[in-house]
Structure 1
Amino acid sequence: MTSHQAHGEQLLGINGVELCVETFGDRGDPAIMLVAGAAASMLWWDADLCEQIAVCGRFVVRYDHRDTGRSTCYPPGQPAYSFTDLTLDVLGIQDALGIGRAHVVCQSMFGGIGLILGVDHPDRIASLTFVSSSTGADGLPPPSSDLAMTAEPDFSDPVAVVEYVVAGARAYAGGSPYFDEAAIRALVERDVARARSYSSTLVNHYPIALDGPARGGFGDIAAPTLVVHGDHDPLLPLPHGEALRDAIPGAELLVLKGAGHDLPRAVWDDFVSALVRHTEGGRP
């Protein structure tokens, strides 16, 4: 069977920038666009996870946001784009790959991309999945006090950068019994070595303009929606996921027991089975 194999990274010219994209599976299958969270390249959607989804009959797309991995980067602290631009990047990738409608899976802060797609571009979306995300509404629990980070590392010292990012990943796992430090360290080492500018990766997504959809809010999303949230999430505790489910008509919530603000390998079977059920149909 070849449907689970990766098709290799490619740099695509989209919206005046270069975006690095990799696909898994058969192009004739329903397409799943994986949108990583802030400061995360495509590598944070593990290739083994992408293959596990693809063997279930899905065409899986992962990519590097601007300022991550091999995609276009900007000077640290000077991102020249907004949430809307990043949303249009998703649609540009769909266009480049000949995908009319995609099942879009958005993680963490970039659930905002899913919101804009779902409200302003419903014709391009077969379904939405929000992983470790939030409505951002007032009154939700704040992040754990355990997430206080140390000062930024010396970016000229790759070893120090890796240690900094691994420490952050450990904190964001929220004490999960599934946190695999060796696997995370190997991922981060690849991520740092592969990036055009890792200093830009770590800082540039946070000051971008948080423009939202033009046509409404979460209550206006009509696409079938799945909310996925770990019960150990220290950044956006579980009530954030519950509030997101409640804000979107007909949304369902999958609670990943033992997971933090991440998708550890131990919960992949539960996540993939739910995602496959959620994305039945929706041919490109």
Structure 2
Amino acid sequence: MRSQDQNVILVSVTNRAAANGIDIAYESFGSPQGRPLLLIMGLGAQMIQWDEGLCELLAEQGHHVVRYDNRDVGLSTHFHDAGVPAAGTPAPYLLDDLADDAAALMDVLGWPSAHVVGASMGGMIAQALTIRHPGRVLTLTSIMSTPNPSVAPPTEAASSVLMGRPPADRETALEQAVERWAVIGSPGYELDRERIVELAGRAFDRSFDPAGTARQFAAIMASGDRTEGLKGVRVPTLVLHGEADPLVPVAGGRATAAAVPGARLVTYPGMGHDLPRELWPAFAAEITKLTSA
């Protein structure tokens, strides 16, 4: 990766860290002297969903950006022995465990604290990290997320694509990705089919584990409401949300912002449950304003 600013070092080599009893795959962008910025992705989504272009943009704004695969996706540890959670059985782990993974990764990176950005389930993890490890979080940015799934239930159409049958092969995975983002993506922006197919193919080739996604979903449903915990958050907090999000409707962002004292809420007309390329400069500007204050 290159930048027009020759003082910015952009790196995207996959590394692995032994952290919290598991292996975590991660990549970094930007100078190690930059402001530490940890990006946490959502349900079943690998770190590559934080597009390299967005990571570079954030690095060019003075951040040392790290994106990583949560447990049970990508190249991090998968809990295969746990199988697919059955109804009525305990979840193999909770969002608090994923938050502890993030804190342990920060230990490996040598970061006493960091600016934390989470999208969707990643926002839930970022919230839990801030609640559980308040001294480790400099600022919190929660994107298209919620303190409690019941606050902002998905539309029927979004729920159907979320809970649909997993693909049996690579070709079907690519087809389903386009179908899924056509439903939950941003109606105010053109559907970038080429990018969706490219990312879906990369994700399938890196790791295909629908059972891991099911275990993450079980963690979401078993983790309870973070509203009371968020009321105790004392770090600068930014909440970004799409006004046309069918998977986690904007009520989830409003509930997050209402719970955190002094939180700033920014909503985007036409944005669904994705990160449209056209909004990357706006996202980067808002995050940079927060981290550089």
Output the TM-score relative to the length of structure 1. 0.90
Residue 174 of structure 1 deviates from its aligned partner by 4.7
Residue 256 of structure 1 deviates from its aligned partner by 2.3
Letter in 2 for 1:152: R
Residue 161 of structure 1 deviates from its aligned partner by 2.0
Stretches of 4+ aligned residues off by more than 3 angstroms: 209-216
| Gap runs ≥5 in structure 1 | none
**Structure 1 pair 118–246 and aligned structure 2 pair: CA distance change class (3 A):** same
Q: Secondary structure at the match of 2:178?
A: helix
**Structure 1 pair 203–280 and aligned structure 2 pair: CA distance change class (3 A):** same
**Structure 1 pair 142–216 and aligned structure 2 pair: CA distance change class (3 A):** closer
Q: 2:65 matched to 1:60?
A: yes
Which deviates more, 97-106 or 205-214?
Answer: 205-214
- Give the whole-Å Cα distance in 1 for the aligned partners of 2:175 and 2:120: 22
- Give the whole-Å Cα distance in 2 for the aligned partners of 1:64 and 1:10: 11
Q: How many residues align?
A: 278
Give the root-mean-square deviation of aligned CA atoms. 2.2
- Give the whole-Å Cα distance in 2 for the aligned partners of 1:181 and 1:55: 27
Tell me if the contact between 2:35 and 2:64 (Cα under 8 Å) persists in the aligned partners.
yes
Match of 2:216 in 1: 205
Residue 126 of structure 1 deviates from its aligned partner by 0.2
Q: Secondary structure at the match of 2:216?
A: coil
- Give the whole-Å Cα distance in 2 for the aligned partners of 1:170 and 1:202: 20
Q: Secondary structure at the match of 1:208?
A: helix
Match of 1:227 in 2: 239
Q: Secondary structure at the match of 1:204?
A: helix
Q: How does 1:91-240 map to 2 (within 5 A)?
A: 91-136=103-148, 140-147=151-158, 148-149=160-161, 151-155=164-168, 157-195=169-207, 197-208=208-219, 210-211=222-223, 216-240=228-252
Deviations 1:180-204 (A, max 9, x none): 1111111010001011x43234322
Which structure exhibits the higher relative contact order, with contacts defined as CA atoms closer than 8 Å and separated by 6 or more residues?
1
Deviations 1:94-114 (A, max 9, x none): 111111110001111232222
Match of 1:77 in 2: 84
Tell me if the contact between 1:120 and 1:215 (Cα under 8 Å) persists in the aligned partners.
no
Q: 2:48 matched to 1:36?
A: no
Tell me if the contact between 1:178 and 1:259 (Cα under 8 Å) persists in the aligned partners.
no
Match of 1:90 in 2: 102
Q: Secondary structure at the match of 1:229?
A: strand
- Give the whole-Å Cα distance in 2 for the aligned partners of 1:83 and 1:202: 13
Q: Secondary structure at the match of 1:26?
A: coil
Letter in 2 for 1:146: A
- Give the whole-Å Cα distance in 2 for the aligned partners of 1:252 and 1:237: 17
Deviations 1:192-244 (A, max 9, x none): 1011x432343221112733699951111111000000111111222221222
Deviations 1:39-80 (A, max 9, x none): 111011001100000011000000001111111112241574
Residue 135 of structure 1 deviates from its aligned partner by 2.4
Match of 1:46 in 2: 51
Q: Secondary structure at the match of 1:33?
A: strand
- Give the whole-Å Cα distance in 2 for the aligned partners of 1:202 and 1:120: 24
Q: Secondary structure at the match of 2:191?
A: coil
| Gap runs ≥5 in structure 2 | 1-5, 86-90
Q: Percent identity?
A: 32
- Give the whole-Å Cα distance in 1 for the aligned partners of 2:96 and 2:232: 17
**Structure 1 pair 236–194 and aligned structure 2 pair: CA distance change class (3 A):** same
Residue 3 of structure 1 deviates from its aligned partner by 1.7
- Give the whole-Å Cα distance in 2 for the aligned partners of 1:256 and 1:214: 24
Deviations 1:145-166 (A, max 9, x none): 22223741443x2111222233
Higher helix share: 2
Tell me if the contact between 2:146 and 2:152 (Cα under 8 Å) persists in the aligned partners.
no
Q: 2:260 matched to 1:244?
A: no
Match of 2:270 in 1: 258
Tell me if the contact between 1:19 and 1:63 (Cα under 8 Å) persists in the aligned partners.
yes
